[in-house]
Amino acid sequence: MTLIVEKALTLWGMNDAEWSLVAARENHVYRVQTDTRNFALRLHRQGMHSDAALRSELLWIAELGTNGVGVPTPVPATDGSYLHLLDGVQVDMLDWLPGRPLGSTGTGIDHDDRTGIFRTLGREMAKLHEVSDAWTRPDEFARWSWDRAGLLGDAPLWGRFWENPTLSDEDRALLTAFRKAANSHLQEIENQLDYGLIHADLVRENVMVQGDKLWLIDFDDAGFGFRLFDIATTLLKNLREPDYGALQVALLEGYRIERVLDTEHLDLFMALRAVTYVGWISSRMDEDGSQVRNTRFIETARELLKHYLG
């Protein structure tokens, strides 16, 4: 990747900048340091998104930032474009945000005012939805959809969760029964639900905090979807926190300060979000820590699906 980084820095007019790898997950992210500013250079995972989808993401983020949502600012290259293709790798750059992640899977929430910051997170999520609905998207805008087909169809966005190779016969039957019941339920109510652009991955690692200020990062999973899916994603990753009930109340209170939210079907979306991870991990079984994560994902899904199915 070194050669690609160096080529990218030339395109952005930062040949003399210092740089270092800070994340190597779905994307490779490098911190670029000039004399006056820091930036995040992203080398995107090949095959995950089209060029059109990434350009759409950058235009959307720019719109959110212009309208007061805490997000990184896309940085154009010297030719004015946001995205470049280098040796088959899609490359873009964002400004570097201050603060630290709200927490991580391993360490939990890192904030003194846990409910306060979740109330703020709820407000920011609602602002994201509100600004997105008011935006007139360009004709070429393209992002994937967490709709009924994307969640429960024959080719879900994150994989056929009911075919995870490690499932027991009992768990496979449970996930298959859930898929049928959830599809029927969602088909009945989908036209009544709040639907539009969503972040789809507001987990603790993707929320940067500095005091009571926060920013939303990593729009890789973002696209069209049910607003309850955004809520469920944040709640699911905090399900094991000792004060989960208070965090849930705070998140929903914050959201409702900005816009209306009907949570009647939240249990359905908690279960839907849980099974996406069972599908996602299926193609990553050879990665470090995947066995532990896979077990955790299946246990969480089992619990929520049994609750939903009653």
The mean pLDDT of the chain is 96
- Given this model, what pLDDT does residue 217 score? 96
E strands, the chain, are: 18-24, 28-33, 38-43, 84-86, 89-95, 100-101, 103-104, 108-109, 145-146, 195-198, 207-210, 213-216, 223-226
| Architecture of the domain made up of 2-96 | 2-Layer Sandwich (3.30)
Whole-number Å distance between alpha carbons of 16 and 8: 12
Q: What is residue 99's predicted lDDT score, i.e. its pLDDT? A: 92
- The letter for the amino acid at 232 is A
pLDDT in the model for residue 105: 79
The CATH number, out of the four listed (1.10.490.10, 3.30.110.30, 3.30.930.10, 3.90.1200.10), of the domain defined by the range 101-309: 3.90.1200.10
pLDDT bracket for residue 214 (50, 70, 90): very high
Q: Would you list the domain boundaries of the chain?
A: 2-96, 101-309
Give pLDDT tens digits for 75-133: 999 999 999 999 999 999 999 999 999 998 778 898 999 999 999 999 999 999 999 99
Rg from Cα positions in the chain: 20
Q: How much is the pLDDT for 230?
A: 98
Distance from C-alpha of 276 to C-alpha of 158, rounded to nearest angstrom: 6
Is residue 237 within 8 A of residue 105, CB to CB? The reply is yes
253 Cβ partners below 8 Å, 6+ apart?
119, 122
